[in-house]
């Protein structure tokens, strides 16, 4: 990430994103934020509670992370916006000086809250922590995200489960559009935060088109694709992503939310996606699953008990430069805290640098070759 600092009046215009190179439908871009320029495609490690689990901000920088994600719902409930504001925002609170993207809180309301009632006004829910009642409106979501000081913030949207009937999906996307308009109206344009709209529409391509057309009328500096990887078959997820990505303007960043495996990132970047986030590298690290150029390994397997080689001989992360599989297995089987740290360092490095290598291939016009080599490595 470039350390170029941008003036707020330059951050909120329509030219925050530029395409630097293409290879087929894959593209390499630059996304301007008030805290620097982000090279895309990019993977954003998930820092739900103001921390990417097991890693310090310094370690995030060492693995190459340039932007991280925070969670509006969780930070609103704990520690609370009043606490974060005492420190001038989430960046100083957690000691991270790079860009932060926050989600709207909508997905967690629908998936974690004990009881939820959705109305045109917003989402009335009970906290999963203590059962207390809260109303999350579009205006409240924007207020929370701006109090956190996020550089990229998301409109409140209504998430839809899979499978869902057409009427249910259409109602949700209509509400998402109305909420998007209210989010934009509530935005403090002097804050320098970039507000992204979210495309919904379930697994109906024509409803995705309707959602995209409505949000394009509102004119956001970036667009996210929500409602994917919610239980649908992989082929259906790819087809919906491909169709939706093609509907979005090429001069805006295209963000696919909550996806996914390394294979997903390579395929979706090839279809024109620019931004990704997923808990998989950190969550799987804590469960002993590590990603390598030859596929995933489970470090708990007995085959690693005396293995002297690193997790991935092609990897240059701190873990692979210094530790054997045998040692990592010993730590994991002993439930030592260091196991989770070293595993997470490796997995996040793998994800972040997979996108950096893919970007380099796109800039050289070699996406197809990169994709073929990637899959060939997994088949070894």
Cα 22 from Cα 28, distance rounded (Å):
6
First-last CA distance in the chain: 33
- Tell me how far CA of residue 104 lies from CA of 39, 99, 156, 218, in angstroms: 23, 16, 5, 18
Cβ neighbours around 135 below 10 Å, total: 12
Are 100 and 45 within 8 A, CB to CB?
Answer: no
Q: Tell me if the bond preceding 367 is cis, omega within 30° of 0.
A: no
Active site residue 250: no
The single residue of 151, 264, 274, 277 carrying the catalytic annotation is 277
The single residue of 92, 103, 181, 274 carrying the catalytic annotation is 103
Cα 31 from Cα 60, distance rounded (Å):
19
Active site residue 277: yes
Helices 367-378/262-270 angle, 10° precision: 160
C-alpha triplet 123, 126, 130: angle, nearest 5°? 150
Positions annotated as catalytic residues are: 103, 277
């Amino acid at each position: 990430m470039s350390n170029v600092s941008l003036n707020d009046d330059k951050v909120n215009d329509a030219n925050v994103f530029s395409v630097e190179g293409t290879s087929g439908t894959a593209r390499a871009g630059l996304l301007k934020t008030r805290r620097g320029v982000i090279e895309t495609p990019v993977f954003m490690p998930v820092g739900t509670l103001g921390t990417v689990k097991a890693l310090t901000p310094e370690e995030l920088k060492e693995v190459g992370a340039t932007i991280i994600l925070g969670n509006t719902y969780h930070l609103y409930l704990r520690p609370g916006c009043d606490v974060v504001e005492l420190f001038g925002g989430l960046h100083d609170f957690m000691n991270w000086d790079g860009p932060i993207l926050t989600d709207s809180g909508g997905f967690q309301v629908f998936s974690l809250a004990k009881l939820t009632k959705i109305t045109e006004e917003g989402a009335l829910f009970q906290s999963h922590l203590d059962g207390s009642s809260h109303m999350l409106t579009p205006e409240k979501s924007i207020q929370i995200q701006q109090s956190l000081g996020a550089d990229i913030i998301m409109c409140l949207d209504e998430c839809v489960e899979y499978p869902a009937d057409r009427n249910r999906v259409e109602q949700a996307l209509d509400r998402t559009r109305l909420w998007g308009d209210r989010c934009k109206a509530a935005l403090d344009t002097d804050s320098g935060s970039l507000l992204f709209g979210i495309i919904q529409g379930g697994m109906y391509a024509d409803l995705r088109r309707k959602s995209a057309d409505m949000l394009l009328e509102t004119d956001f500096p970036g667009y996210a694709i929500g409602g994917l990887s919610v239980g649908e078959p992989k082929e259906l997820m790819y087809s919906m992503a491909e169709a939706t990505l093609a509907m979005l303007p090429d001069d805006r960043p295209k963000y696919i939310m909550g996806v996914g495996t390394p294979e997903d990132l390579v395929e979706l970047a090839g279809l024109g996606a620019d931004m990704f986030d997923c808990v998989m590298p950190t969550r799987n690290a804590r469960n002993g699953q590590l990603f390598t150029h030859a596929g995933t390994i489970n470090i708990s397997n007995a085959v690693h008990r005396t293995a002297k080689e690193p997790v991935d001989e092609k990897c240059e992360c701190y873990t692979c430069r210094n530790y054997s599989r045998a040692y990592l297995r010993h730590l994991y089987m002993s439930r030592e805290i260091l196991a989770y740290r070293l595993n997470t360092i490796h997995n996040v490095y793998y994800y972040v640098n997979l996108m950096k290598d893919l970007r380099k291939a796109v800039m050289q016009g070699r996406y197809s070759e990169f994709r073929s080599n990637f899959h060939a490595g997994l088949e070894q």
